[in-house]
Structure 1
Amino acid sequence: MQIIGLCRFSFPALGDFQIEHDTIKDRRRHLYNSARLKERLSLFESVTLPSFRAQTDEDFQFLVVVGDCLPKLAFDRLNDLTADIRQVQIIQRPVDQNQKHRQTMKQILQCARLQPDQPCLQFRHDDDDGVSVDFIERLRDGAQDGAGLIKKNQAIGIDFNNGYQASFGPNDIQAAQVYKSLLGVGLGMLIAGNCAHTIISFTHNRIGRFMPVISYPDRPMWIRSLNSSNDSSRAEKQKSQLAPITPDTERAFAERFAIDLDFVRRAHSSA
């Protein structure tokens, strides 16, 4: 079964974000701020990409969508960071004031389906988050568990609701294990053949209103990064719940997410 992931790297269309802007120019100014881009690239390199390199199931696609106006230095850096990951495809799209963000992403996902008449697994992923090294494997297992449900539904959600929230810096790394349902990270969707829905068709935290959802709380499956450029207005409150990372958590980050915290510290020192 085909598995497709979608990651929007600072894509400056309007809509589908909590922090909104009146014009594309304003959105670009916000997303392409040099300090913000440096932070996002550091998180993408040190938190997001390690686990996608180390997936126990290598049969997936990871689409990284950028605007054709992304500054060249950032675009070149993205290409360098992902050059050794064969599953990654960087997709450039033009952006204009009348463009519907959600519709653009739906079109990209629909075009990526190799056999539209067959079921497909999809997931969305933010460029500052991480997933476990067995995320793809367990998504595929979830599709098998949902085989009966998908016969009666156009789509079903596959939600891994056990993970970590964490903040990363050169000298201070903090984390807390949490249980949160229907986040943008650690959430997949099994889509029936000949169905036009995509993982981006629904607001992630409302998916349960439109389809059955299978939840797996058994082990940590994601890391949600809390940083200075989070789109969520709740990020600052969530940061206050974090604690300095422990040796056990550091081992879990290495084993479950392929994250080297010494490398994280160096990456953020140079950001």
Structure 2
Amino acid sequence: MRVQMLGLCRFSYVGLRGYQRDHASIEERRAFLYDPERLARRWLWFTTLALPGWLAQTDPDFTLVIMTGPDLPEPYLSHLRDLGAATPQLRLELVAPMDRHLEACRTAIAPHVEPAADVVGHFRHDDDDAVAVDYVASARRDFAAVRGLWQPERRLSLDHSRGLMLRAGAGGLQFTPRIAHNMGVALTIFLPPDQPQTALHFNHTRLPLWMPGVAVTRPLMFIRSIHADSDSGDMGPGIPWEIGEGDLDRQLARRFALRRDILEGLAGRLSGAAGGRSC
């Protein structure tokens, strides 16, 4: 069975809807998203926290579509083009502003769906979050173990729910270990390739309304960041678990290809930031 792993990362995409922060017009949204200081912060989060795990995936058979607008200011548009040219798994899609956000997301994803695949594992990824280096491999392996649950409805969510909440601010970094279900990061929605939906078509907080779901609570699989540019500063409900300081450093390196000193340096540089989350 061919399982395609296909994700979407929105990088400062100018469009209405799809965000917790509202704007009255596309022009107002553009002014907010393209603010030079905000874009500089978003790029630092993306390249420092999000990108290392994708570049280090143990299973390189995946596609992550980076969706932005054709008028994204330089040098960020050129940076994204260079990333796509250097990394086969990263595909840049330039989508003109659209009022209907889900239609825009489908426009970005549709050219990359493999019609010959048996199943497509759709996922979303915010540009300031991280997944473990074996997320793609784990999603494929775990789906194979529960494939029978997918067959009746041809819909299934697979939630790798053990993570770290990273709060960054003037006080530096704080990591809070949580098992948090359906956070949206490291969450895979398995659909047939002929279905028009993507991961973003399903509100991740209400997934049981539309499909059966399986939670995989080990191993550590995601980092969700909370900082001054976050749309929501709430880490949400979850179950705490414990990790020692020394083990935390080892897990950051082994699971995410990250170093805490680099993340602390980033937090220090951005501690005065203010604005709105992802996309």
**Secondary structure, counterpart of 1:72 in structure 2:** coil
**1:250 — aligned with what?**
249
Preserved contact between residue 43 and residue 128 of structure 1 (Cα < 8 Å) = yes
Deviation at 1:262, TM superposition (A): 3.1
**1:90 — aligned with what?**
92
**Secondary structure, counterpart of 1:200 in structure 2:** helix
Q: 1:207 to 1:39 in 2, by over 3 A?
A: same
**Structure 1 stretch 6-15 or stretch 102-111: which is displaced more?**
102-111
Q: What does 1:228-247 align with in structure 2 at a 5 Å threshold?
A: 228-232=228-232, 234=234, 246-247=245-246
Preserved contact between residue 45 and residue 81 of structure 1 (Cα < 8 Å) = no
Moved over 4 A (4+): 80-83, 168-171, 265-271
Deviation at 1:74, TM superposition (A): 1.9
- Is residue 2:113 matched to residue 1:113? yes
Preserved contact between residue 117 and residue 194 of structure 1 (Cα < 8 Å) = no
For 1:257, the aligned partner's letter is F
Q: 1:137 to 1:37 in 2, by over 3 A?
A: same
Q: What does 1:179-198 align with in structure 2 at a 5 Å threshold?
A: 179-198=179-198
- TM-score, length of structure 2 as denominator length: 0.86
**2:80 — aligned with what?**
78
Deviation at 1:218, TM superposition (A): 1.6
CA distance in 1, matches of 2:86, 2:165: 28
Unaligned runs of 5+ in 2: 271-279
CA distance in 1, matches of 2:33, 2:90: 22
**1:5 — aligned with what?**
7
**2:34 — aligned with what?**
32
Deviation at 1:84, TM superposition (A): 3.6
Preserved contact between residue 120 and residue 193 of structure 1 (Cα < 8 Å) = yes
Q: What is the identity percentage for the equivalent residue pairs of Structure 1 and Structure 2?
A: 29
**Structure 1 stretch 51-60 or stretch 85-94: which is displaced more?**
85-94
Deviation at 1:170, TM superposition (A): 9.5
How much is the aligned-residue C-alpha RMSD, in angstroms?
A: 2.5
**Structure 1 stretch 210-219 or stretch 147-156: which is displaced more?**
147-156
CA distance in 2, matches of 1:141, 1:125: 20
For 2:212, the aligned partner's letter is P
Deviation at 1:107, TM superposition (A): 3.0
For 1:184, the aligned partner's letter is G
Unaligned runs of 5+ in 1: none
Deviation at 1:169, TM superposition (A): 6.7
Deviation at 1:219, TM superposition (A): 1.8
Preserved contact between residue 166 and residue 175 of structure 2 (Cα < 8 Å) = yes
